[in-house]
Amino acid sequence: MSLNFNWKKRLIDQADLMDLHDKLKEKGKKIIFTAGAWDMLHVGQARYLQEAKEMGDILVVGVSSNAAIRKVKGPNRPILDEKVRAEMLANLKSADFVTIMPEPSCQPTLGLLQPDVYVTVKEDWNENYKESKEYKTVTKYGGEVKVLDRQSPYISTTKILERAVSAQLGDTFKDFMNMRKDPLKER
């Protein structure tokens, strides 16, 4: 069975966001926008995207660029390249369009797209979100900001990575201890 689906048609360049907004508004569509790193997609993120999608007609998902993630999370992130993350999201039923954001903040993208609703996840770091430049940008043009609870509070990319690294270190340590019991000898 061939689905004849081209995910690349759903990938929107930043320069085309204003045109996308105009075309969707001409059709009377309610635009929803959310953004993130989306590094190693997990069930909580999939649930979050589905809930965001249900708030309107069209969900546009912003993907932080590799450079933007490194600025925020350090040199060892992202795990997956921006194009891989964008393709992964563009293949989800809930995401209608995906755009790669060059900056750590999605404020420039919000200014271009001007979605009806900007959805973000409730986190400690954005507790004062009403003071953020993103909130001010959206409310200035008459949009709405909605904050969703985490959809899977015990699963995160960071926790997945920590568990994987911990397991690998445990195996390495066991191997090391076994070698100490029976050291390698030169022949």
Rounded CA separation 75/112 (Å)? 29
138, containing H or E segment: helix 133-140
List all residues 6 or more positions away from 32 whose beta carbon is below 8 Å from its beta carbon.
Answer: 52, 53, 55, 56, 57, 58, 59, 60, 115, 116, 117, 119
Is 178 part of a structural domain of the chain?
Answer: yes
| Confidence bin at 157 (pLDDT 50/70/90) | low
Least Cα distance to 62 among 95, 84, 30 occurs for 95
pLDDT 10s digits, 77-106? 898 999 999 999 999 999 999 999 999 999
Is 2 part of a structural domain of the chain?
Answer: no
pLDDT 10s digits, 27-43? 999 999 999 999 888 88
Rounded CA separation 134/108 (Å)? 8
Adjacency order of strands within the sheet including 144-148: 97-101, 58-64, 31-36, 117-121, 144-148
pTM, full prediction: 0.81
Same domain, 32 and 86: yes
Same domain, 143 and 174: no
Is 187 part of a structural domain of the chain?
Answer: no
Least Cα distance to 114 among 7, 29, 44 occurs for 29
pLDDT 10s digits, 160-181? 566 666 666 666 656 655 555 5
Query: 153 or 179, which is more confident?
Result: 153
Rounded CA separation 45/48 (Å)? 5
Split into its structural domains, the chain has a count of 2
| Confidence bin at 2 (pLDDT 50/70/90) | very low
Is 144 part of a structural domain of the chain?
Answer: yes
What CATH number is given to the structural domain containing 100?
A: 3.40.50.620
Question: Taking 60 as the threshold, does the pLDDT of residue 187 lie above it?
Answer: no
Same domain, 84 and 175: no
Same domain, 64 and 89: yes
Asked if residue 120 lies in contact with residue 34, where contact means CB atoms within 8 angstroms, the answer is yes
Q: Which domain holds residue 80?
A: 7-151
